[in-house]
């Protein structure tokens, strides 16, 4: 059985680190893993996605439309952008966090309202206020690892030794913070 995870957000939000930790953990747990991410100009504020697939023998690194078991969105509107990739019975983990894109910043259009309500009607949705939680942990950048924690719990992957994965892959001075973040994230699933 192959499982499909999509991590989406805005360039600079740390989806790449989150997917790196995730895939490393999955590999160390003995799964075959493939991961795909398209980057290029997206570092300049564009929409980004990381697709992670794991199981016994994974062929394609890409998730099909209608193929994801879970969609983790680091930004609210991005959940809607990528929703067509989710299986109808799949789950959404959405960060209750808005990042205005240029048409919104310039006042041409408004940030869409009622996204979380719409998601809840359509699909099993977990809302995480990762910004607030990250602030409480003392570093707004750690939102990504909080969301990773929620994802891990939602996918039933909490038996993997995430403490080791974080210690091996994060700069020493940030290890403690990230360990706390992953724990906080798990508690929110």
Partner 1 sequence: MKKLLTGNEAIARGAYEAGVRFASAYPGTPSTEILENIALYKEDILAEWATNEKVAVEAVIGASYAGARAIAAMKHVGLNVAADPLFTNSYTGVNGGLVIVSGDEPGMHSSQNEQDNRNYARFAKIPMFEPSDSQEAKDMVKEAFEISEKYDSPVLFRITTRLCHSKGIVQCEDRKEVEIKEYVKDVKKYMPVPAHSTIMRVKVEERLNKLEEFSNNTPLNYIELNYTGSNDKKIGVVASGCSYKFAKEVFGNNASYLKLGFTNPLPKALMKEFASKVDKIYVIEENDPIIENELKMLGIECFGKNTFPYKGEMTPDVIRKSVYGENETTIDYDESKVVSRPPTLCAGCPHRGFFYEIGKRKNTVISGDIGCYSLGFAEPYNAMDWSVCMGASISMGHGAQQVFNMKKGNETRVVSVLGDSTFFHTGINSLLDVVYNKGNSINVILDNRITGMTGHQENPGTGYTLQGLETETVDIEALVKACGIKNVRVVNPNDLKEMKDTIDWAYALKEASVIITRWPCVLKKFSKEDKEEFQGAFQNNFKVDEDKCIGCKKCIKTGCPAISFDKTVKKANIDKGPCVGCGICAQVCPVNAIAKEAK
Binding site for partner 1 (CB under 8 A): 10-11, 23-24, 27, 32-47, 58-62, 64-67, 77, 80-81, 83-88, 100-107, 109-112, 115, 118, 122-123
- The separation between CA 120 and the C-alpha centre of its own chain, rounded to angstroms, equals 18
The least CB distance from residue 5 to partner 1, in Å, is 13
The least CB distance from residue 187 to partner 1, in Å, is 27
Beta carbon nearer to partner 1, 103 or 164? 103
The least CB distance from residue 133 to partner 1, in Å, is 17
Rounded to an integer, what distance in angstroms lies between the CA atom of residue 176 and that of residue 36?
A: 28
The least CB distance from residue 39 to partner 1, in Å, is 7
Rounded to an integer, what distance in angstroms lies between the CA atom of residue 29 and that of residue 23?
A: 10
Beta carbon nearer to partner 1, 101 or 183? 101
Beta carbon nearer to partner 1, 59 or 159? 59
* 73 HSE (CA, 13 A, CB side): 28
Rounded to an integer, what distance in angstroms lies between the CA atom of residue 77 and that of residue 113?
A: 9
CA distances to 29, 40, 187 from 85, rounded to whole Å, are: 26, 21, 26
């Amino acid at each position: 059985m192959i499982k499909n995870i999509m991590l989406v957000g805005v360039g600079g939000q740390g989806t790449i680190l989150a997917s790196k930790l995730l895939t490393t953990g999955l590999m160390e747990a003995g799964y075959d893993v493939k991961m795909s991410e398209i980057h290029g100009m997206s570092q300049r504020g564009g929409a980004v996605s990381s697709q992670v697939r794991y199981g016994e023998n994974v062929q394609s690194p890409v998730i099909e439309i209608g193929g994801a078991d879970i969609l983790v969105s680091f930004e609210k509107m991005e959940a809607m952008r990528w929703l067509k990739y989710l299986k109808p019975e799949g789950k959404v983990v959405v960060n209750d966090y808005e990042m205005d894109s240029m048409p919104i910043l310039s006042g041409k259009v408004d940030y869409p309202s009622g996204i979380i309500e719409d998601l809840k009607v359509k699909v099993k949705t977990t809302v995480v206020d990762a910004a607030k939680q990250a602030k409480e942990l003392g570093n707004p950048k750690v939102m990504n690892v909080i969301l990773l924690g929620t994802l891990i719990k939602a996918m039933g992957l909490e038996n993997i030794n995430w403490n080791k994965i974080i210690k091996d892959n994060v700069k020493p001075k940030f290890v403690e913070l990230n360990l706390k973040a992953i724990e906080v994230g798990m508690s929110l699933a």
